[in-house]
Chain A
Amino acid sequence: QVQLVESGGGVVQPGRSLRLSCTVYGFSFSSYAMFWVRQAPGKGLEWVAVISYDGSKQFEANSVEGRFTISRDNSKNTLFLQMNNLRTEDTAVYYCVKGIGRWELTPMDQWGQGALVTVSS
């Protein structure tokens, strides 16, 4: 059974850092691209970042470029999102999402339950 379990969310002050993790179960993690997608309270879905199956390529949204970094550890079946210099507008539920294919432009299929990040002073 496919499972994606996010952790690391919480309340943080503006300008501080936070690292999200997503540990996966039930599929061959090293074979698929992985995404982070976020949803601000009461708002729609926003793509944040994607990484290829082997970690060789990463892309981030303009709104987080230079502040957020996506990475993966295939030996630990874990995806990460390092979030630096957080802003109040980064407040959202962050979802870890599995891609259907290996490379970055691939449909997303399986979603985690989400991790809430609240940026507030």
Chain B
Amino acid sequence: DIQMTQSPSSVSASVGDRVTITCRASQGVNNWLAWFQQKPGKAPKLLIYTASTLQSGVPSRFSGSGSGTDFTLTITSLQAEDSATYYCQQAHSFPITFGQGTRLEIK
């Protein structure tokens, strides 16, 4: 199984800051990597797929990069509504696996 490891597990930042979350795969996944945002009590929302493709309707302050085993999600100009848990997920091979999540708190 491909293990997805996110860092940090939690982060606290202020409105207007730039935040970077990393995701490392235990084996190469090419660019079959997605990022999701989940707010409490809500279903996850797709932000980025194929490592760097912004999902329709997602603000451009979200961006993704990487290939192979190392990926990043960057949020520029952080907004209060970005407070959430973020998950990476690989769709390269079965079983499909998610990272453990990164909780983003707005100071």
In the bound complex, CA of A4 to CA of B24 (Å): 31
Contacts of B91 in A (CB 8 A): 105-108
Contacts of A106 in B (CB 8 A): 91
* Count of inter-chain pairs, beta carbons less than 8 A: 55
Scan B64-107; emit 1 where CB is below 8 A from any A CB, else 0: 00000000000000000000000101011111111111000000
Are A105's CB and B93's CB within 8 A?
A: yes
Query: Chain B: how many interface residues by the 8 Å CB criterion?
Result: 24
In the bound complex, CA of A95 to CA of B101 (Å): 17
Instruction: Give the distance to chain B from A84, nearest Cβ to Cβ, in Å.
Output: 20
Q: Is A47 an interface residue (CB 8 A)?
A: yes
Instruction: Give the distance to chain B from A70, nearest Cβ to Cβ, in Å.
Output: 13
Enumerate B1-50 residues with CB–CB distance to A below 8 Å.
Answer: 32, 34, 36, 38, 43-46, 49-50
Contacts of A47 in B (CB 8 A): 89, 95-98
Scan A41-64; emit 1 where CB is below 8 A from any B CB, else 0: 000111100100000000101100
Are A46's CB and B98's CB within 8 A?
A: yes
Given the known inter-chain contacts A45-B44, A47-B97, A61-B95, please indicate yes or no for A107 contacting B87, CB distance below 8 A: no
Q: Pick the residue among B38, B43, B98 that contacts A113 (CB under 8 A).
A: B43
Contacts of A109 in B (CB 8 A): 46, 49, 55
Residues of B within 8 A of A (CB): 32, 34, 36, 38, 43-46, 49-50, 55, 87, 89, 91-101
| Cross-chain pairs A/B with CB under 8 angstroms, 6 sampled | A44-B87, A44-B101, A45-B87, A45-B101, A109-B46, A112-B43
